[in-house]
Structure 1
Amino acid sequence: MGAEAGTEIGFGAVAAAHPDRTALVEPDGTTLSYGDLAARVHRLAHALAGLGLGPGDCVAAMLPNSRAFFELRLATGRSGLYFTPFSHHFTTAEVTHVVADSGARVVVVDASLLDVAGPALDAAGIPAERRLVWRAGQASQEPAVPPPGWTDYASLLAADPATPPPHPRAGAVMLYTSGTTGRPKAVRRALSEAPPGPSPYELDFMARVGVRAGAYTQLCAAPLYHAAPGLFANMAMQLGHTAVIAERPGTEDWLELIDRHRVDALFAVPTVLHRLLRLPAEVRGQYDVSSLSAVVHGAAPCPPEVKRRAIDWLGPVLYEFYAATEGGVSAADSADWLARPGTVGRPLAGTEVRILDGDGRPVAAGETGGVYFRPAVPFAYHKDAEKTERSMRDGYFTAGDEGYVDEDGWLYLRDRRTDLIISGGVNVYPAEVEAVLIAHPDVADVAVVGVPDAEWGQRVAAVVQSEPGIPGDDAFADRLAAHCRGALAGFKVPRVIEFRERVPRSEAGKVLRREIRVDGAGPVSGA
């Protein structure tokens, strides 16, 4: 559903109309009103200008989920600046690459991360007045003495006025891709001359995934430096929501936060849904989740059995989208998915989808090929025209996924092309096998990969994380193989099943296949 009648759209309009409405609930329970947040955003915008930043410059941030993320995204978004948040788990080498490659002129770092970030900022030549220390908690709103070579974030804001800066201009977020096949590259979009506020594309996307404007509450618990969680957090401010910020909540913590704050909307990766469903029914029953009207998932495939059970539990409030850092593609609500199990929806407004074969020719409806889409907002890889050109065909981009479109225009995904297993000349899509294995009640997580085989080229292998108390032994492997044979063709059944304490995943919920080694075979093909 879209914005409700009579509601304000855009952070500035919401703050002016409802200055006393709670904008943020921080992880420690501290609250901040829209009026107070707007004052801090204005101070920050003035401070950045005072440091010499102007339209087109970049501000980077290495932060856990916190109020500072919201302030930085809003201030850069009304100053014509690029904002580049990145993982607070990065090493010094990774920080060095992002800061230098982005050309960041100001970098904000959490106080707990100075030892990691400091050498990187030294290498990038960031002076003390433009390397800012953020301290989480109520005390962070008060000026403090910074460590040598750094500037205190709160002190910088305290020196500037709370009045709106003149000549507001929309900024943009410049995020780095995951870098699974090399060093991360930034996705950069041209700045517009438009005033700050949500774009028609963003508003349409939110409407397609059931997120509406008004006095609602959104849980922001996924890492905000990722594309989707960051977008949902920013749109919470543009739509007038109260954003409840959580940093690395445990599985049951999600339910406690939903219950305590009467959460209306949230974004989660499928792994979170799976873990919630694996909680005992009596534990889930302790929490009231009836306030939820939009549980949005994306970033990784959701096994059909997990999605069905989630809809049975929560009601028809699940919304799915398919997207990449480079742009959004499609969306589907619960009714869409139940009518067409497995679909990731129809294209978003302004987005066109094509399915192409290896030679770039369109394939017929129902036939599998590479998924290409024309982004609603054009982009280029920062400082890498060659990569931009390689990823495109006639203006259509691919993230490397395989899929098909049915006769009615609904998109379905098979898997990433690089993850495809070819065994005896036959294609095996890991996501299909994973969906069967994860439906077994004793499987907590799973990743399916291909390993070299002298006879077949590749064989199907599964890395399984069993539920607590379930031994990862030959007997369990035999039960899983029998389970697969009941749902899959013989050539798709894993020939190798290995048990691990955990399946490696990124914070975005994607399997880190490059970290998986099976049966001493070395790095798995396609990583």
Structure 2
Amino acid sequence: MPLSAAAILADSAERWPESPAVLYGAESVSYRELWRSARQYAAVLREHGIEAGHKVALLLPNAPEFPAAYFGVLALGAVVVPVNTLLKSSEIEHVLRDSDAKALVCAAPLLAEGVGSAEAAEVPVLALFPRGAVPRDGGESDIPRLDELAARAEPIDRHVPCDPADIALILYTSGTTGHAKGAMLTHLNVVMNVDTTMLSPFDVQPHDRILGCLPLHHSFGQMCTMNTCFRAGACLVLMEGFDAEEALEIMEKQRCTVFMGVPTMYSALLTAVELVERRPQLDRAFSGGSALPVTTLGQFQATFGCRIYEGYGLTETSPVVAYNQKAWPCRPGTVGRPIWGVEVEIARSEVEDAVELLPAGEFGEIVVRGHNVMAGYLNQPEATAEAVVDGWFRSGDLGVKDAEGYLTILDRKKDLVLHGGFNVYPREVEEVLTRHPAIAQVAVIGLPHEIYGEVVCAVVIPRPGVPTGPELAREIIAWSKEHLAVFKCPRSVEFVTSFPTGPSGKVLKRELLKSVRRVG
């Protein structure tokens, strides 16, 4: 039976043709208009030789052109390869070469990085210019413009039918441990994850307005925000980039009902709301990407009067694995229960060539199987074999699952701090430290130590107006000794104004470790 992820938009364009699909500044794009634009883009791509199965890379920011190009590629039965807009030329070149991209659709502001990488990889470029923008000197005028060509093109009639096992997306991991790997997601992966999560946990309805502040090139923003929104016929209120004060203003003005974000965004909103005193009337909020401190969750719910549902997912799992959901009591500190059709268990982390499941309540590595698990890593059979063992995807995350099926994430296996033979889980320490009145955000890392192997270091973003220095560091260390076992207490405290983050807003602890070592 044929199945295409393009139907996510196509079906809603039939059901709610005049409803707004995207709000972007003063611009409103209906479902009819968005699907027509997608089919016009598809027509132009077809004229440029793109066929079913070809890979098309998208280097586009959060704007209406992203979903138009995304669904235009899918409509041809081709494969979408979203590219992180923060990447530099050599990194983009790796994605283009590794994916064997047949074209790069690039936004005009990103042509400086995109064109050089595309030329090096011998990939043709189609440019997308914002309304009213004109090419600058330097060869931009010679690049075919997808927007101009699409405006004159006759849209394709309908999307190309695909097999459920055909690849729809190649999503590249952040590559913090080396070159980014391309996770291959099938049409079945995409459609099942979107259909399942639209119903629960997200419960998206046609009347909802969802703030689209997460980057659309990332799985959280793309799948959970954009695709579930379009599947339900709701409205996506797009922001090109996240700014807390602007987000509060937009959510209030556009009457947003749903917010989806990562923990750093929730912390920023709590700080901003004290400055601008804007309280959007949200119905619900969803957190993912990394662990949300329980104190932040409580403060947000008290400030904004809406519940936060925390969940868990990975690029390789399309992405959602588990979430707190309306059907069951929410349990702060957990990521809820597995979504429909997905199994989650805990396995012995030290056994790598097999999956040995553990009983409820025991700590180990989180393993996943179900409709959401990727088809594999592109061009990397060995990495695929390491990740998918005995039919289970090995997440690399450590956690525990209780007798009622609630999942608690402790940490990444590689983020674990080994202090004198004791396992220290950074999240546990972070949860405690966020209760300190001077700390706005904290990330815990392990520093090498000649006696203990590793010791805990707390990297702290202080609350506004709090003076930093050795005295505050000593106070935090002394305070932690009252609340934590001695081997879990930070031996040092570093103060920063911001954390290095990945495309989804997740704190990059390996980059943080490098900067702390330079400071030290």
- Partner residue of 2:323? 331
CA contact (8 A) 1:144 1:152 kept: no
State which of 353, 368, 371 in structure 2 corresponds to 1:376: 371
Q: Which amino acid aligns with 1:75?
A: G
User: d(CA) in 1 for partners of 2:326 and 2:443?
Assistant: 26
User: d(CA) in 2 for partners of 1:202 and 1:13?
Assistant: 14
User: d(CA) in 1 for partners of 2:203 and 2:367?
Assistant: 26
Q: Which amino acid aligns with 2:337?
A: R
State which of 231, 238, 253 in structure 1 corresponds to 2:246: 253
CA contact (8 A) 1:306 1:439 kept: no
- Partner residue of 2:3? none
Q: Which amino acid aligns with 1:133?
A: A
User: d(CA) in 2 for partners of 1:337 and 1:315?
Assistant: 17
State which of 1, 17, 37 in structure 2 corresponds to 1:40: 37
- Structure 2 residues not aligned, in runs of 5+: 1-6
User: d(CA) in 1 for partners of 2:321 and 2:416?
Assistant: 21
Q: How does 1:357-396 map to 2 (within 5 A)?
A: 357=348, 358-359=350-351, 360-377=355-372, 378-396=374-392
State the 1:283 CA deviation.
Answer: 3.2
User: d(CA) in 1 for partners of 2:513 and 2:154?
Assistant: 56
State the 1:518 CA deviation.
Answer: 7.3
The verdict on how the C-alpha distance between 1:217 and 1:519 changes in structure 2, with shifts beyond 3 A counting, is closer
- Partner residue of 1:348? 339
State which of 38, 51, 55 in structure 1 corresponds to 2:52: 55
The verdict on how the C-alpha distance between 1:164 and 1:274 changes in structure 2, with shifts beyond 3 A counting, is same
State the 1:179 CA deviation.
Answer: 0.7
SS in 1 for 2:119: helix
Once the two structures are superposed, residues 176-235 of structure 1 have per-residue CA deviations (whole angstroms, 9 ceiling, x without a partner) of: 00111110010113456x9xxx72432111222233231321110111111010112122
Q: How does 1:275-424 map to 2 (within 5 A)?
A: 275-279=268-272, 281=274, 283-284=276-277, 286-287=278-279, 289-290=280-281, 292-327=282-317, 328-333=320-325, 336=328, 338=330, 340-357=331-348, 358-359=350-351, 360-377=355-372, 378-424=374-420
Q: How does 1:177-192 map to 2 (within 5 A)?
A: 177-191=173-187
User: d(CA) in 1 for partners of 2:74 and 2:258?
Assistant: 23
User: d(CA) in 2 for partners of 1:175 and 1:76?
Assistant: 15
The verdict on how the C-alpha distance between 1:383 and 1:123 changes in structure 2, with shifts beyond 3 A counting, is same
Normalised to the residue count of structure 2, the TM-score between the two structures is 0.90
Worse overlay, 16-25 or 241-250? 16-25
Once the two structures are superposed, residues 73-96 of structure 1 have per-residue CA deviations (whole angstroms, 9 ceiling, x without a partner) of: 222222211111111111110010
The answer to whether 1:15 aligns with 2:13 is yes
Once the two structures are superposed, residues 321-365 of structure 1 have per-residue CA deviations (whole angstroms, 9 ceiling, x without a partner) of: 210001121110378564x33211111122111211122422221
CA contact (8 A) 1:451 1:518 kept: no
- Partner residue of 1:430? 426
Q: Which amino acid aligns with 1:94?
A: E
State which of 200, 203, 207 in structure 1 corresponds to 2:199: 207
The answer to whether 1:75 aligns with 2:75 is no
Identity level (%): 30
CA contact (8 A) 1:436 1:487 kept: yes
User: d(CA) in 2 for partners of 1:280 and 1:258?
Assistant: 12
State the 1:118 CA deviation.
Answer: 1.4
- Partner residue of 2:147? 154
Q: Which amino acid aligns with 1:239?
A: A
- Partner residue of 2:464? 468
User: d(CA) in 2 for partners of 1:85 and 1:161?
Assistant: 25
The verdict on how the C-alpha distance between 1:163 and 1:417 changes in structure 2, with shifts beyond 3 A counting, is closer
SS in 1 for 2:51: coil
The answer to whether 1:479 aligns with 2:475 is yes
Q: Which amino acid aligns with 1:391?
A: A
CA contact (8 A) 2:197 2:228 kept: no
User: d(CA) in 2 for partners of 1:312 and 1:280?
Assistant: 12
User: d(CA) in 2 for partners of 1:213 and 1:44?
Assistant: 28
State which of 90, 103, 106 in structure 1 corresponds to 2:103: 106
- Partner residue of 2:128? 134
Worse overlay, 213-222 or 155-164? 155-164
Worse overlay, 509-518 or 71-80? 509-518
CA contact (8 A) 1:372 1:396 kept: yes
SS in 1 for 2:483: coil
State which of 234, 242, 265 in structure 2 corresponds to 1:272: 265
Normalised to the residue count of structure 1, the TM-score between the two structures is 0.89
The answer to whether 1:242 aligns with 2:238 is no
The alignment yields a C-alpha RMSD, in angstroms, of 2.6
The answer to whether 1:174 aligns with 2:165 is no
- Partner residue of 1:446? 442
State which of 121, 124, 148 in structure 2 corresponds to 1:124: 121
- Partner residue of 1:458? 454
- Partner residue of 1:3? none
Once the two structures are superposed, residues 383-405 of structure 1 have per-residue CA deviations (whole angstroms, 9 ceiling, x without a partner) of: 00000011122011122110011
State the 1:167 CA deviation.
Answer: 4.0
State the 1:46 CA deviation.
Answer: 1.6
Once the two structures are superposed, residues 105-159 of structure 1 have per-residue CA deviations (whole angstroms, 9 ceiling, x without a partner) of: 11111112222121211111123xxx111122x337x999982541112122123
Q: Which amino acid aligns with 2:356?
A: R
SS in 2 for 1:326: helix
State which of 502, 509, 527 in structure 1 corresponds to 2:505: 509
CA contact (8 A) 2:494 2:516 kept: no
SS in 1 for 2:490: coil
The verdict on how the C-alpha distance between 1:515 and 1:10 changes in structure 2, with shifts beyond 3 A counting, is closer
SS in 2 for 1:330: strand
User: d(CA) in 1 for partners of 2:70 and 2:61?
Assistant: 14
User: d(CA) in 2 for partners of 1:430 and 1:116?
Assistant: 36
Q: Which amino acid aligns with 1:274?
A: S
SS in 1 for 2:82: strand
The verdict on how the C-alpha distance between 1:65 and 1:280 changes in structure 2, with shifts beyond 3 A counting, is closer
CA contact (8 A) 2:56 2:103 kept: yes
CA contact (8 A) 2:398 2:413 kept: yes
Q: Which amino acid aligns with 2:396?
A: G
